[in-house]
Structure 1
Amino acid sequence: EVPWKDPITVFPTPEGSGYQFSFHRKLSRGNVDAEPPAGHTLILGPSGGGKSVLIAFLIAQAQRMNARVFAFDYRRGLEVPLRALGAEYSEITANRPTGLNPLWSETDPEGQQWLSEWITALIERAERPLTAQQSQFLQDAIRRNAEAPQGLRHWSQFASLFAPLDDDGDLESRIREWAPSGRYGWIFGGNREDTFSLNGDLVGFDLTSVLDNGNDKERAARAMQDRRPTIIVVDEAWRALDTDYFADKLQGWLVTLRKLNCVVLLVTQFATQIANSKAGASILQGVQTQILLPNDDASAQDFAALNLNAKELTIMLETPPGKRVALVRDDQGSVLLDTDLTDLGQLLMSIGNSTAGRAALAAPDYDPEFWRALK
């Protein structure tokens, strides 16, 4: 038995047999109601090697299990397939309002605690840590914000709460960088309410042009209390892990999200990008499943963090370019799968980031059924 009742899909092996793929390991019979085992998955592959197509296919297949999907995209690589599946998709662009205002939405005790940690991470610097007095004043200001009417829970009002603090205006000036007139004001400062929506079964965000601020992923993590099967895709995961705040948070989230029936897919090109990030070693230990695509431009060192055996390493380095196979590994072993999806025919155009698909989406009033006409 598998935690989500059925396998995600069935892939052929090079020998012609069928392999039932699941993000999770199988449960013992009679134990199907147990807390789900971790299904977090690392997906590695070169640029142009088929990662996005494979991820889109797995997302589409997971809809049979009524899985919810949050995709944190990079360079809009998943936009075409997500929109073809009916997703809400937003591009968060520098210097354009985002709709994010966590001061408006995070008012319960858990939200206040998170705001304290998160705002500290935003404004603190190694050479300028907050003093004990400033940290206490920040917590008091967050509490006062939570008690204020909704119309006063915004960054301009929040910044004004720090004026009485006797620190030569230091903390207030740091907060005002995120208020409307500050250099980061476009991210949160211009939003009197929080209109950033996580509603829907499929939600995608392109974050290419903004620094990873963690708020979007924290919101996704808090949207899963219903324990519905959920997939979070973090494309170019090394960029998120290069942020100290998110790297620290992710270790805890991998445990918490497992209990909430959620699978995190960390996507990147090289294992070293994860291993060399802060907390990379522990994060790799928390990812039980690996889907590895061959990369003839890579070296053995690029895979060193994964401890591949000689046969697995040969597959990764010597498989001819263009041959669509994937090595799936977990703590029970590894298997080589045939991931050539050309038999999907025209439908392959809608799960790949095709030129035709991007052109269709560029139209001011594109047809939501655009994928039917892709050739």
Structure 2
Amino acid sequence: MTALLENPRLRTPTMMYLFHRIDERLDGQPTMILIDEGWKALDDEVFAARIRDWLKTLRKRNALVGFATQSARDALDSRISTALVEQTATMVFMPNSRARPEDYCDGFGLTSHEFALIRSLPAHSRCFLVRQPDASVVVRLDLSGAPEVLTILSGRESAVRRLGLLREAVGDEPSAWYPALTGTAWPDGAVDEDGQPVWQAAE
């Protein structure tokens, strides 16, 4: 995929096909479209136009689009940076001791207090700042005691490949591939008040 996005001749038709397939799947079910380091693709006019449209219309289809980047400047330098900032209802900022006020305050509109929090939070604190138009809060998400959850959430190529092989072998039902992937038993019968599985850390 990276090679396709870096090829100007192939990028646009590739994007058009992917958008077509995604649109086919937007059937009203809750959907998240997550784009990791998608700033190169934003150089493509077709991609930028579709993202600008999605930012304004996906909520009506019970879907959302999210971007992730390691560089605030990459996002702000994109051709649709104004739409990204204005149309994004929730932003998540990880600790960054080298954050610059011209990016975070001038670009994303953070207050001086929010900026100070991002600069001062320890990198390995498992804390981050969640910001919405009328409020912000520091959240701590510590999954160190739940390695099986981290395995499932991992986007590492090796983990994704292993899950793909398991699904080919045993099917798509999570209870079938979960034990082999995580090394723990499927939490059959252990559910919370909403009927969702209760994740228990491996011993």
The 3-state SS of whatever aligns with 1:210 is: helix
Aligned-partner Cα distance in 2 for 1:359–1:345: 13
Consecutive unaligned residues of structure 1, counting only runs of 5 or more, are 1-206
How far the C-alpha of 1:326 sits from its partner, in A, is 1.4
Match of 2:86 among 275, 281, 285: 285
Alpha-carbon contact 1:274-1:284 (below 8 Å) kept: no
Equivalent-residue separation in structure 2 for 1:265 and 1:271 (angstroms)? 14
Question: Which secondary structure does the structure 2 equivalent of 1:233 belong to?
Answer: strand
Is the Cα contact below 8 Å between 1:270 and 1:302 reproduced in 2?
no
Residues 22-171 of structure 1: matches in 2 within 5 Å? none
Contact 2:29–2:62 (Cα < 8 Å) also in 1: yes
Match of 1:367 among 166, 171, 176: 166
The counterpart of 2:96, out of the listed 292, 295, 317, is 295
Amino acid at match of 1:343: G
How far residue 287 of structure 1 moved from its aligned partner, in angstroms, is 0.9
Contact 1:247 1:279 in 2 (8 A): yes
- Structure 1 stretches (4+) deviating beyond 6 angstroms? none
Name the aligned partner's letter for residue 312 of structure 1: E
**Match of residue 332 from structure 1:** 134
| Structure with larger Rg | 1
Q: Which of the residues 126, 134, 143 maps onto 1:341? A: 143
Q: Give the CA deviation at 1:255.
A: 2.0
* Kept in 1: contact 2:92–2:130 (CA 8 A): yes
> 8 Å contact 1:251–1:282 — kept in the other structure?
yes
Residue 307 and residue 359 in structure 1: after superposition, are their counterparts in 2 closer, same or farther (change >3 A)? closer
Aligned to 1:235: 36
For 1:209, the equivalent position in structure 2 comes to 3
Do the aligned partners of 2:130 and 2:136 also contact (CA within 8 Å) in 1? yes
> Which whole-Å CA distance do the structure 1 matches of 2:76 and 2:148 have between them?
38
Measured in 2, the distance between the counterparts of 1:271 and 1:222 equals: 32
Higher normalized helix content (fraction of residues): 2
CA RMSD of aligned residues (A): 2.6
Partner amino acid, structure 2, of 1:241: L
Cα 1:218–1:285 change in 2 (3 A) is farther
Which residue of the partner structure matches residue 310 of structure 1? 112
Contact 2:42–2:79 at 8 Å: present in 1 too?
yes
Match of 2:60 among 259, 262, 269: 259
Distance 1:218 1:341, change over 3 A: same
Change in CA separation of 1:218 and 1:269 when aligned onto 2, cut-off 3 Å: farther
Distance, in Å, in 1 between the alignment partners of 2:36 and 2:116 is: 26
**Contact between 2:151 and 2:159, CA under 8 Å: does it hold in 1?**
no
Partner of 2:39, secondary structure, is helix
The residue type equivalent to 1:361 in the other structure is R
Partner of 2:195: none
Residues 351-366 of structure 1 aligned to structure 2 (within 5 Å): 351-353=153-155, 358=158, 361=161, 366=165
With CA pairs under 8 Å and 6+ residues apart, which has the higher RCO, 1 or 2?
1
TM-score normalized with structure 2 length:
0.70
Q: Are the equivalent residues in 1 in contact too, given 2:143–2:149 (CA < 8 A)?
A: no
Contact 1:241-1:274 within 8 A present in 2 as well: no
* TM-score of the pair, normalised by structure 1: 0.40
Q: CA deviation at 1:372?
A: 2.4
Q: Is 1:236–1:266's contact at 8 Å kept on the other side of the alignment?
A: yes
Runs of 5+ consecutive residues of structure 2 not aligned to the other structure: 6-10, 168-176, 185-201
**Number of residue pairs aligned between Structure 1 and Structure 2:** 165
Residue range with higher mean Cα deviation, 301-310 or 328-337: 301-310
Give the counterpart letter for 2:166 in structure 1: D
